[in-house]
């Protein structure tokens, strides 16, 4: 049934009450230039939901190593994919919006890799921190401030008050 990452669903669209569960290897090894590590089995359930309609259910846990957004220290981040999608046969009646949401379907072929990439994009963390107390890096010398302070001057004047500083410091 599986050819690479493509799955032919014509059997599921035409056979009422057909249901199949599979445990397969996660087909994506990297995403966004980062290596993905599978931390749980990848479960895929395909189920007929009427003529020309099927439901896909996916459950999997992954880990990816991403840099902390403040100090750039590598952080192992868990990602959980747990979703369901309804898909339709190419000859089934559906709205234009439903058709656009099925970019991962080519005729009767499910592009599993494309479907999972869409879901990974939705699950990808918007911010990664090594800890809530992360101090980041020095903007002058690049020292990781979690490992120790640096000797750099951290005073950053507010440019809106630069005129007042000139008056008080006599820099006319």
pLDDT higher than threshold 90 for residue 122? no
- For position 86, what pLDDT does the model report? 83
Cα-Cα-Cα-Cα torsion 96, 99, 101, 102, nearest 10 degrees, comes to -170
How high is the mean pLDDT of the chain?
A: 79
Tell me what percent of the residues of the chain surpass a pLDDT of 90. Answer: 12
Q: Are the C-beta atoms of residues 42 and 25 closer than 8 Å to each other? A: yes
Provide the CB-side half-sphere exposure for 84 (13 A, CA): 8
State the Cα angle at 114 between 94 and 116, rounded to 5°. 100
- For position 170, what pLDDT does the model report? 65
Tell me what percent of the residues of the chain surpass a pLDDT of 70. Answer: 84
* Higher-scoring residue by pLDDT: 97, 112: 112
Q: Are the C-beta atoms of residues 27 and 62 closer than 8 Å to each other? A: no
């Amino acid at each position: 049934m599986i050819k690479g990452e493509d799955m032919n669903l014509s059997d599921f669209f035409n056979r009422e009450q057909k249901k199949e569960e599979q445990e397969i290897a996660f087909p994506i090894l990297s995403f966004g230039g980062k290596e993905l590590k599978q931390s749980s089995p990848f479960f895929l359930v395909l189920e007929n939901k009427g003529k020309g309609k099927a439901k896909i259910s996916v459950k999997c846990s992954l880990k990816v190593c991403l840099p902390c957004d403040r100090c750039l220290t590598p952080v192992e981040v868990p990602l959980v994919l747990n979703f369901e999608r309804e898909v339709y046969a190419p000859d089934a009646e559906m709205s234009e919006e439903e058709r656009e949401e099925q970019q991962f379907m080519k005729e009767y072929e499910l592009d599993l890799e494309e479907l999972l990439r869409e879901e990974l994009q939705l699950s990808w963390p918007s911010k990664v921190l090594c800890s809530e107390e992360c101090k980041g890096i020095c903007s002058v010398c690049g020292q990781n401030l979690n490992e120790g302070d640096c000797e750099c001057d951290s005073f950053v004047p507010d440019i809106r008050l630069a005129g007042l500083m000139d008056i008080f410091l006599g820099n006319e």
